Amino acid sequence: MSQDFNDPSLDEDLYCNLALEACMMAAESKFQNIDLIIRAISYLLEFIEVYPTNYRGHLGMAIVLIGGRMYNQASKYLDNAYNLNPSDEIDFYMNILNESMEQDKSQKVDEIKTKKKTNIDDLLDMSNKFKNK
């Protein structure tokens, strides 16, 4: 991944493939390697700046952002990709985005319920300690 993106001989497809390769590497790390995520975002942003009408750059950015759980930003890039190239491929990722958002919401609700239950249990426990004194 040592290609110079400022090289004027770099054609659009090669440029896009290099950016998407960075995206793939971030995905292979299950979006745990922050350096790969930053590299992918950087390459994709640069690609989108140079080729704003290439849907694959927008789609790649959305995938990285979904992996990073940045759903609002991912939604914008998916919308851009869809506007540039309405397709089943983009619908697929829109479904993944929606499912990921629902799953995160559900996890947050469960976390809140657990915290509230813990707080209520702690309060009841304290109340019982005071009653016993």
Integer Cα distance of 74 and 52 in angstroms: 16
For residue range 57-112, list pLDDT tens digits in order: 999 999 989 988 889 999 999 999 999 999 999 999 999 999 998 888 777 766 77
Q: With bands split at pLDDT 50, 70 and 90, how would you rate the model's confidence at 4?
A: low
Residue ranges per structural domain of the chain: 12-103
pLDDT of 1: 43
Q: Is 5 a residue whose pLDDT tops 60?
A: no
Q: Given this structure, which CATH class describes domain 12-103?
A: mainly alpha
| Contact indicator for 87, 60 with CB cutoff of 8 Å | no
Average pLDDT over the chain, rounded to an integer: 81
| 3-state SS assignment for residue 30 | coil
DSSP state at residue 119: H
pLDDT of 116: 65
